[in-house]
Amino acid sequence: MILNIARKEFKELIREGRFRVMSMAIAALLVIATVITFNYYQWVNAQHTAAKENARNVWVSQDQKNPHSAAHYGTYAFKPKYPMSLIDQGVDKYTGLSIYLEAHKRNEAQYMAAQDQTAASRFGDLTPDFILLYIIPLFIILIGFNAFTRERESGTLRLLKSQGVSSFKLALGKWLGIFLPVFMVTLLVALLSLVLLLGIRDFGELNLGAFALLFFFFLIYYAVYTNLTLWISSISKKSGVALVVLLAIWMVSCLGMPKVANRLAEAVHPYPTQNEFLASIHEDERSGLDGHDPFSMQAKKLEEETLKKYGVDSVQQLPFNWDGLLMQKGEEHSAEIFFKHYESLKQTNNAQTGVYRAASVLSPYLPARFLSMALCRTDYHAHWHFSDAAEKYRLQMMDALNMHFAEKASYGDWAWKADKSLWKEIPDFNYEPVTYASIIQANGNNIAALVLWLLVSAGLVFRGVKRMNVL
């Protein structure tokens, strides 16, 4: 009986011109979006490879110079783009592509793709995630809004009830009839993406488990919208009313709630302005150790401790160059200040994420969106992970340069120059992304919210069908 109802529903959908037009339009949009994003991905990868090689060549090609001068000369850390970002670009175009690594400073990522876009980009990009998160839920509403109201208006609902069709069988049959074409469309984009992604070898292998999990979460998201569509159809007396209500739910869930949650998060847990952030860092730096000022109170204190440790009377008697050690200690002190203030930014980000998670009970879009970005490694947490890795590498590079100066040069000899081989001894920056295990662990609340939406919406469907009036 369930399969018969599902088959009937599916056949009726296929016969409708509305379904055929929407299906072809969505399939065409998905193909176009995927191909466009793939070409963009290939272009970014080519630029990434060229920029990384050029930065390394520039670094190792330096002439002989003082190691601390090389530290100020600096180099770049480039953020790789991973295969699944083809599906969901997340916040990548707003977070920058590279970080300049230099002495005494922790710089922000720069060269954001959004800076190069035209005003038309405000209307949104045609990307697979836009189709998957916005258009397919709308597609579900448009093909299923009259699932029950059509039966009531044509009089077939009374016939079904009179034949003893249970509410459970009727609801499940209708659900399968609507969800099957949605599954087919989703499978189309999954297979197309998989074919393209399997051909990308530039930056890491495609994780098939993460890829399958991503589309599994999308299917749960679509199941929620299928449930909501059937529920509203079951409690509405007219098809027009059901359509209007469902469109309102879609607009609030996909368009309204993300904006409301964002505004609320910013109001409750605001970020400092860039000027405020930099001013607070400079304030802490003024009261701390400056590696270029040997006469400051903090420098004199460090000098006394060092002389006492080595049992000598002056810095000239130390078994190493005092200037090199002082600059390294100043670097370490600055790093502690940067860590303190960037951790404050992370705490604000985590607090805002808490607001989004709380808002997830009002919109299934939010947990689906955050899971999509997380698995594609294009969310803010992935960017923070890259930024922290770049800072760790910067500190290791500064330590190698300053301590080489401290060990090799005599005190006061700022004209001393390191051999060019030193630049090659410092390894290139190789970034290891956040693991999928930690991604799943960090997104446990989003998974729970999506599953909760699935269970609650399923309960609403069966409750609505059970109490459905045939008139």
State whether residue 429 is helix, strand or coil: coil
Query: Tens of pLDDT along 152-181?
Result: 777 776 666 666 667 777 788 888 888 988
Residue 331: predicted pLDDT: 86
Query: Tens of pLDDT along 362-414?
Result: 999 999 999 999 999 999 899 999 999 999 999 999 999 989 888 888 877 87
Q: pLDDT band for position 1 (50/70/90)? A: low
Do 27 and 381 meet the contact criterion of CB atoms below 8 Å apart? Answer: no
Q: Report pTM.
A: 0.87
Is residue 471 a part of any domain in this protein? Answer: no
Average pLDDT over residues 447-461: 94
Helix (H) or strand (E) holding 100: strand 98-102
Do 230 and 168 meet the contact criterion of CB atoms below 8 Å apart? Answer: no
For the record, the structure tokens of 420 come out as: 């060019």
Is residue 325 a part of any domain in this protein? Answer: yes
**Domain range for 385:** 2-466
Query: Tens of pLDDT along 234-252?
Result: 888 888 999 999 999 999 9
DSSP letters, 386-399, are: HHHHHHHHHHHHHH
Residue 278: predicted pLDDT: 86
Q: For the chain, how many structural domains are there in total? A: 1
Residue 112: predicted pLDDT: 65
Q: pLDDT band for position 122 (50/70/90)? A: very low
Is residue 322 a part of any domain in this protein? Answer: yes
Is residue 237 a part of any domain in this protein? Answer: yes
Residue type (1 letter), 429 = F
For the record, the structure tokens of 325 come out as: 């050690």
Residue 20: predicted pLDDT: 78
DSSP letters, 286-325, are: HTS--TT-TTSHHHHHHHHHHHHHHT-SSGGGSSS-HHHH
Identify any residues that bridge with 99 across adjacent strands, giving them in sequence order: 77
d(CA 321, CA 10): 81
d(CA 449, CA 66): 56
d(CA 441, CA 447): 10
Is residue 309 a part of any domain in this protein? Answer: yes
Look at residues 73, 82, 115 and name the one whose alpha carbon lies nearest to residue 96: 115
Q: Which residues have C-beta within 8 Å of that of residue 345, sequence separation ≥ 6? A: 271, 277
Query: Tens of pLDDT along 41-83?
Result: 778 778 888 888 999 999 999 999 989 889 989 999 998 888 8
Is residue 326 a part of any domain in this protein? Answer: yes
Query: Tens of pLDDT along 81-99?
Result: 888 888 888 888 788 888 9
Percent of the chain, pLDDT > 70? 89
Is residue 73 a part of any domain in this protein? Answer: yes
Query: Tens of pLDDT along 246-304?
Result: 999 999 999 999 999 999 999 999 988 888 888 888 888 777 666 666 657 777 888 88
d(CA 16, CA 143): 9
